[in-house]
Structure 1
Amino acid sequence: MLRLLMLLFLLMAPQAHAQDAFSELLPGLTGGFAQQAETVERLGALGDPRALPLLRALGDTRLLRGPDGTVIVSPGQPPPGSDVIRINNRVRGALRGALGRLQLGSPDPEERLRAAEAILRNRSADDIPILEAALGRETDARIRDRLALALGGARLAAADPASKRIGILALGRSTSPEARALLLQERIATPDLATDIDTAIASIDQRLALRRAAETAFQGLSLGSVLMLAALGLAVTFGVMGIINMAHGEFVMLGAYTTFVVQELCRDIPWLSPWSLPLAVPAAFMVTALIGAAMERGLIRFLYGRPLETLLLTFGVGMVLQQVVRLTFGAQNREVISPPWMQGTLVLPGEITITQNRAWIILFALFVLLATLAAIRLTRFGLEMRAVVQNRRIAATMGIRTGRVDAMTFAFGSGIAGLAGVALSQIDNVSPNLGTGYIIDSFMVVVFGGVGSLMGTLIGAFSLGIFNKLLEPYAGVVLAKVAVLVAIMIFIQRRPKGLFALKGRAADQ
């Protein structure tokens, strides 16, 4: 049995009576291409829900002309004697606009959004009443913005100068580059309204400049948060202990690989897989802290007071760690998938777009900073660490085990570097060279902010991040970094101890 669903819309005989507006338009679909395009546009403007399946079938070549002059929508094999109604590109353009008008009342938000986009691409003054009605009942902010833009474009297509001016004013309140492009087109087509259009374009340019400034500031904060995470551990090991740890970047890399391992372990456990990233945070801290403690007890403690030897030793340890990771995981990049709540973008008021993963990293960086401050200021470990920094001999005579404090301090700084690796795994490639690109920037942040000052690390990281992003559009990525480095060199010449000078063993050396 032939499976065929036929929807009979109208007998096209001339003697048909009691036809409504919808029925009267249907014969035009079987005419020439120009008549088809005009009929499609009129059906879309009519707003009759019966036109939606009909026009979809026309676009999918499922609209047939029956042997008795009827119009048939068929999803299957055409019946004997029927012909497919052919269309050309002009009719397809008219279909996009007409379908957009009819889909504005759909319960599906994505379909309504596509409808608004279609109307925007096929602007017509006939769409003004439809768009006004759709805008009045729409509750989704994203769709309302597109409808408002489409309505402004439809008013520009009107012949009435007053309607054009209303459209110009409406588009002038937008922050969309598309609104600016529509106004530029209208300025060429309607020179008489050039003054109004120029005013609207200037208003849009001002809002776009503010939006770009806000997005640049966010990018600077994002870069600053990454720099702060990478430099925070170094501020403890270098700033407090006076150890130039050239393997600090490798500890960041180990934190990223720990994140990868935790994700792989959780991959086959469905209920645990979404929590792989939160579980990686304490795991990365513990792994890098233990390696840091072993490194301090086994190697570094014999080289206190010998900075050159310490620098060479830690550089060698970093090379060893890189090779161990290459032998274990391979030299290729490893993929760390962000959880769903870190994916996608957020659109803030003013159409400012930010990525969710970088927003979470900013919050994570501030959380790590507060946790570090709390550990140093509110715990016994922090008290003993500050005592050893201020005066090692007096601290030892009071019963503080300075060697144990040194090991714990270095482990603490290394653990923070591991946390930086967790964050970087969400925005960078996890590879053996991951931390190499951040070691120089980390030292710059620590020196600029003030050796051993966590507050200086915070201000220094965000200042350098924002300054770097402000320069990039004008100087490029490489020259911006060079300019930042030169600026820090000049600053250190004037203020050798950085923004916030710290008293203690590291500052006195």
Structure 2
Amino acid sequence: MRRLVFFAVGLLAWLAAGAAGHAAPAAPAPAALGRVLVDLAGEDPARREAAVTLLGETRDPKWLAFLAALREGSVYARTRGGTLELVVAGTKATRGDQEVVDIRSAYERAPLGIVPLAGLREVPADRRLRLVIKPFLDADETRAQLADPDPAVRRGAAVKLGNQADAGAAAVVEAALAKEPDRWARRALTEALAQIRLAHGAPEARAAAARTLGAVHSMNGLPALQRLAGDAAATPAEREAATLAVRRIERWTLLATAVETVFQGASLASILLLMALGLAIVFGLMGVINMAHGELMALGAYATFVVQNWFRAQWPERFDAYFLVALPVAFVVAAAVGLVLERGVIRFLYGRPLETLLLTWGASLIIQQGLRLWFGAANVDVSSPTWLSGGVPVMAGVTFPWNRVFIIALATVSVAVTYWLLFRTSAGLRIRAVTQNRAMSSCLGVRAGVVDAATFAFGAGLAGLAGAALTQIG
């Protein structure tokens, strides 16, 4: 019976050993990198940089978190039982007459208790070491951004990974591409994967990657394709695919540049349209060449700056709404100054174009100097709200910024409102009547002076609106 029990125990032990032998190999742990950690805590800069590189190349989130702590100056060394141990320090506190800190293990971040800070030696990270750490942390952050809910963030992360062309990121990009729902993010991921394969793939894979980059009109991949097309060591298939892709991308670049230039011109023209609209209304009605019209635009721009600062100081949580308030404020401020200018001096000089020209020129100098005295001679900064940041992709290589789209829409609405005001309202009828025959309009009961003042104020307000729009594109 005793022999049977010994036999059964031996059999169970043998089976347990066999099961342990067939278990999955453990992931790299601190024990496997013990020498690396010793080098990291040493004094030799070359060994320390090599140790950081080895830890970063594991792409293990726990080791990357350890490197982040090292960069922040939170890694310390201590000796226990003759063995060097690296720990990550947490919150520091004072107990009695000594400073203490809670520490955690380097890899698992397991709590190790609270110890005196004097018993630890800081593992410093100088500038060179931080520069070695930075690419690994940046790459990890970029990979994490591939899962961001915002498609624009995912597109940006894909572009970064493609430009880095890190072979280790290929699997991550491929996995993200398989589940990406957004059209433009999928294009960016496809481009990134092709850039990585072009840099690290076999000849057949490089030729296929070149064709893919040509198909998606990859401007980011153009330099690598140009190098491959002129590489004598490449296969003929690679060079041919790269050459065709370069031609295709260059043709597309010409089209994209033309579209982008036209759009930027349209957005700037929209601001000039707002300016010209107000100037034309004033000149057409009263025959006054307003030399201060540009300064009225500056008043609108500075009014936007003031509203921005007020929101930043008083309502920081609602900062994104400041521009919606700044638009009517800019219009009212410029219109008020225009009204004062017209009622104060211009109305006495109707029919005398030279005098009104000199007068408005003098008013422009006064406004300029006043703005310099109040705000200073240096340019001021106006930030775009979040909803005007970013842009909408329209084609490969072309993104229409939201701020310029908004300016074009603002100009379109302003022209439509002006048309409605002049041709669909009784006020517009009076304005057109005074423009055509001032004396007859006065005989029919139209108060020409009120019409002049309102029209001049409206034209000045449009200039202020143009100034507010100008702040969003510099």
Q: Could you tell me the TM-score, scaled by structure 2's length?
A: 0.69
Measure how far apart 1:352 and its partner are: 1.4
1:55 Cα deviation (Å)? 5.8
1:109-508 correspondence runs (5 A): 114=157, 117-118=160-161, 121-124=164-167, 131-141=173-183, 143-157=185-199, 160-187=202-229, 188=231, 189-192=233-236, 193-270=238-315, 274-428=320-474
Structure 2: distance between partners of 1:17 and 1:381: 93
Residue in 2 aligned with 1:52? 61
Corresponding letter in the other structure for 2:164: R
Amino acid at match of 2:434: V
Q: Which amino acid aligns with 1:121?
A: Q
TM-aligned CA deviation for residue 375 of structure 1: 0.9
Shift of 1:137: 1.8
Alignment of 1:20 with 2:34, yes or no, is no
Q: CA deviation at 1:200?
A: 0.8
Kindly indicate whether the alpha-carbon contact (under 8 Å) linking 2:165 and 2:195 is maintained by their aligned counterparts in 1: no
2:88 equivalent to 1:75? yes
Report the RMSD for the aligned CA atoms in angstroms. Answer: 4.5
For the residues of structure 1 that align with 2:142 and 2:378, how far apart are their CA atoms?
A: 51
Letter of the 2:364 partner, please give it: G
Whether the 8 Å contact between 1:100 and 1:118 is mirrored in structure 2 is: no
Return the alpha-carbon distance in structure 1 between the equivalents of residues 339 and 164 of structure 2: 63
Q: CA deviation at 1:337?
A: 3.6
Q: Which has the higher strand share?
A: 2
* Distance change >3 Å, CA 31–CA 59, structure 1 → 2: farther
Q: Return the alpha-carbon distance in structure 2 between the equivalents of residues 301 and 312 of structure 1.
A: 14
SS of residue in 1 equivalent to 2:221: helix
- Secondary structure at 1:177 match in 2: coil
CA contact (8 A) 1:293 1:408 kept: yes
User: What residue is the counterpart of 2:100 in the other structure?
Assistant: none
Which one scores higher on RCO, CA 8 angstroms, separation ≥ 6?
A: 1
Q: Quick check: 165-174 or 345-354, which moved more?
A: 345-354
Contact 1:22 1:43 in 2 (8 A): no
What secondary structure, in the 3-state scheme, does the structure 2 residue paired with 1:210 have? helix
Q: How far apart in 2 are the matches of 1:291 and 1:243?
A: 16
Shift in CA distance, 146/424, structure 1 to aligned 2, threshold 3 Å: closer
In structure 2, the gaps of 5 or more residues are 1-19, 37-46, 90-102, 106-111, 113-118
Kept in 2: contact 1:229–1:419 (CA 8 A): yes
Deviations 1:185-206 (A, max 9, x none): 3232515222221101111112
**Contact 1:281–1:422 (CA<8 Å) still a contact in 2?**
yes
The superposition leaves residues 259-301 of structure 1 with CA deviations (integer Å, 9 ceiling, x where unpaired) of 3344445444427654433233333333333332332233223
Q: Is the 8 A contact 1:117 1:146 kept in 2?
A: no
Q: Given the superposition, is the C-alpha separation of residues 337 and 199 from structure 1 closer, same or farther in structure 2, using an over 3 Å criterion? A: closer
DSSP 3-state at the match of 2:216: coil
Give the Cα–Cα distance (whole angstroms) in 2 for the partners of residues 381 and 261 of structure 1: 32
**In 2: Cα distance, 1:273 partner to 1:323 partner:** 30
Offset, 1:121: 2.4
Question: Does the 8 Å contact 2:197/2:205 carry over to 1?
Answer: yes
5+ long unaligned stretches in structure 1? 1-15, 45-50, 429-509
148-157 vs 171-180, which moves further: 148-157
Letter aligned with residue 24 of structure 2: D
Structure 1 position 72, deviation (Å) = 8.8
Q: Residues 261, 169 of structure 1: CA spacing in aligned structure 2 closer, same or farther, 3 A cutoff? A: closer
Alpha-carbon separation, structure 2, partners of 1:344 and 1:357: 8
CA deviations over 1:221-247 (Å, ceiling 9, x no partner): 111011112211101112332211111
**1:104 and 1:115 in contact (8 A); partners too:** no
Structure number with bigger Rg: 2
Sequence identity (%)? 37
- Report if aligned partners of 1:55, 1:99 keep a CA contact under 8 Å in 2: no
Q: What displacement does 1:122 show?
A: 4.4
Q: Tell me how far apart the structure 2 counterparts of residues 29 and 380 of structure 1 sit (CA, whole Å).
A: 85
- 1:226, 1:365 within 8 Å by CA — same for their partners in 2? yes
Distance 1:120 1:327, change over 3 A: closer
Instruction: Tell me by how many angstroms 1:138 deviates.
Output: 2.7
Q: 1:105·1:112 contact (CA, 8 Å) conserved in 2?
A: no
8 Å CA contact retained: 1:284, 1:418: yes
Aligned mates of 1:108, 1:157 — CA distance in 2: 26
Matches within 5 A, 1:29-68: 51-54=60-63, 57=66
Letter in 2 for 1:132: E
How many angstroms apart in 1 are the aligned matches of 2:30 and 2:318?
58
Is the Cα–Cα contact under 8 Å of residues 142 and 161 in structure 2 kept in the other structure?
no
Q: Contact conserved, 1:230 with 1:417, CA < 8 A, in 2?
A: yes
Structure 1 residue 311, shift from structure 2 partner: 1.0
Offset, 1:328: 4.2
- Total equivalences in the alignment: 403
Deviation at 1:212, TM superposition (A): 1.5
Give TM-score, length-normalised by structure 1.
Answer: 0.65
Match of 1:461 in 2: none
Q: Which amino acid aligns with 1:153?
A: Q
